Amino acid sequence: MNTKTIVSDELRCKIEAAAENRLRPDQTPYQALLFAQERDLAMQTGHSHREIQLAALAMEIVPERYARNQKILSCDDQIRLLNSHAVVIGQGGLGGTVTEILARIGIGRLTLVDGDYFEDSNLNRQLLSSTDVLGQMKAEVGEKRVKSINPAVETRCITQFLTAENGEEIIGDGEIAVDCLDTISARFVLEDICRKKHIPMVSAAIGGASGQATVIFPEDPGLKLVYGDPNTAPKKGGEATLGTLPYAAIAMAAYECAEVVGLAVRRPSQLRKKLLLADFHYHSTETLILAE
Return the pLDDT at 6: 78
Number of domains forming the structure of the chain: 2
234 and 113 in a common domain: yes
Task: Report if residue 219 sits inside a domain.
Answer: yes
109 and 193 in a common domain: yes
Query: Average pLDDT per run of 10 along the chain, which is 292 residues long?
Result: 71 96 96 98 96 97 97 97 98 98 98 98 97 98 98 98 98 98 96 98 97 98 95 82 92 98 97 98 96 81
Rounded CA gap, 285 and 207, in Å? Answer: 15
CATH of the domain at 272: 3.40.50.720
Return the pLDDT at 234: 86
Return the pLDDT at 138: 98
Model pTM score: 0.96
Task: Report if residue 75 sits inside a domain.
Answer: no
Range of the domain at 49: 9-68
Return the pLDDT at 63: 98
Return the pLDDT at 241: 77
Buried b or exposed e, range 211-241, using 16+ CB within 10 angstroms: bbbbbbbeebebbebbbeebeebeeebbbee
Q: Are 107 and 83 in contact (CB under 8 A)?
A: no
156 and 221 in a common domain: yes
109 and 59 in a common domain: no
Return the pLDDT at 1: 44
